Structure 1
């Protein structure tokens, strides 16, 4: 049995070597629509190596008029949240936890930095994410940083390729809350995602 620990506490030009284009049908995306929370927020997720603490991936949870995950250059193949060019839809709180749980395993842990934002800032982030992808491999942090830096109040963040550099800077923004997620299950994402959360919130 796996031990799962949750410590709660601009349109962009496509890269010359763009990522894989994925476009879920309209009806599938419509059914997956998940309205945003009353309090709008952005959560930067950084996946880090448990041995070296080196950052391996960046993703951005956007809680705006709807809840989506901007997962640029993500490699997780799944059938629970429909995708359009690196944007995952249907990200209920339970599915957000599932996303984190799949990425947190014996070889990696996840750091989540959450910040409350004005509704118009959250909506800007959503609209920018919808046109940002598909993102080429190894460009996850570059595109996440570019999106964030284009938002009012986030201009001080570095334009960087390195997940830890973006994570460290984001974590220093006023009002940010930080959570760390560690698990001890297999490094195999397919095995991790076998523990599927039940439907609902």
Structure 2
């Protein structure tokens, strides 16, 4: 009973995970928006954290493969320049990515959130497989952002040991234990601007402001 209550509380804290998004942009818009950053190939797990209670707010996955996309399962982020098909956002330029982090790392009179960014360089084959898996996944139901990402990654060679979790923070911590992961904390300064205060976290957990 206690375990069920904790699980229910955890699901209720995922404020940024909305309902199922059935948005499916025309393929011509997706093709036109295609953004290729080029090598090296990598993935980035974003974990939104509520500063007021420490709960996990959201999980999203950036994939830099043959193109760079953002898998934002059950997310509420929108950008008119970024077409969406089944929770996969296409055309993730640096500007689009900045708008995504601005959306999630915010400090207002009523709420305060930061993002933990965990980046892992992977082979082109692995990056492409993850891209294919998020494209085939389809829209994700409410409060299943972390669960969907963990399920997708656990089906990829090299990620079998990743923890399966419904909770963004637990998923982030498990992902952070993978060899080679680079971690940083992104916050928005409390000055009304859209500029971020980026803090790198070293392997010993020590923050370094840049």
Normalised by the length of structure 1, the TM-score is 0.81
2:132 is aligned with 1:132:
no
Asked if structure 1 preserves the Cα contact closer than 8 Å seen for 2:77 and 2:100, the reply is: no
Return the alpha-carbon distance in structure 1 between the equivalents of residues 155 and 64 of structure 2: 17
When Rg is computed on C-alpha atoms for both structures, the one with the higher figure is 2
3-state SS, counterpart of residue 131 of structure 1: helix
Match of 1:63 in 2: 64
Structure 1: which 5+ runs fail to align?
1-17, 193-201
Return closer, same or farther for 1:115/1:71 CA change in 2, 3 Å cut-off. Answer: same
**Kept after mapping to 2: 8 A contact 1:19/1:135:** yes
Deviations 1:25-67 (A, max 9, x none): 1111111001142100010000000122211100000000000
Residues 171, 26 of structure 1: CA spacing in aligned structure 2 closer, same or farther, 3 A cutoff? Answer: same
Task: Determine the C-alpha separation between the residues in 2 that align with 1:93 and 1:146.
Answer: 27
What's the RMSD between the two structures over aligned residues?
A: 1.8
Q: SS where residue 46 of structure 1 aligns?
A: strand
Distance 1:86 1:125 in 2: 14
Partner of 2:165: 160
Distance 1:92 1:185 in 2: 26
Contact 1:72 1:139 in 2 (8 A): yes
Deviations 1:166-187 (A, max 9, x none): 1001111110101111014699
Match of 1:141 among 129, 137, 146: 146
Partner of 1:45: 46
Q: Aligned equivalents of 1:91 and 1:24: distance in 2? A: 15
Distance of 1:167 and 1:183 partners within structure 2: 20
The counterpart of 1:109, out of the listed 86, 90, 114, is 114
Greater relative CO (CA pairs within 8 A, separation 6+): 1
Alignment of 1:1-201 (within 5 A): 19-106=20-107, 107-184=112-189
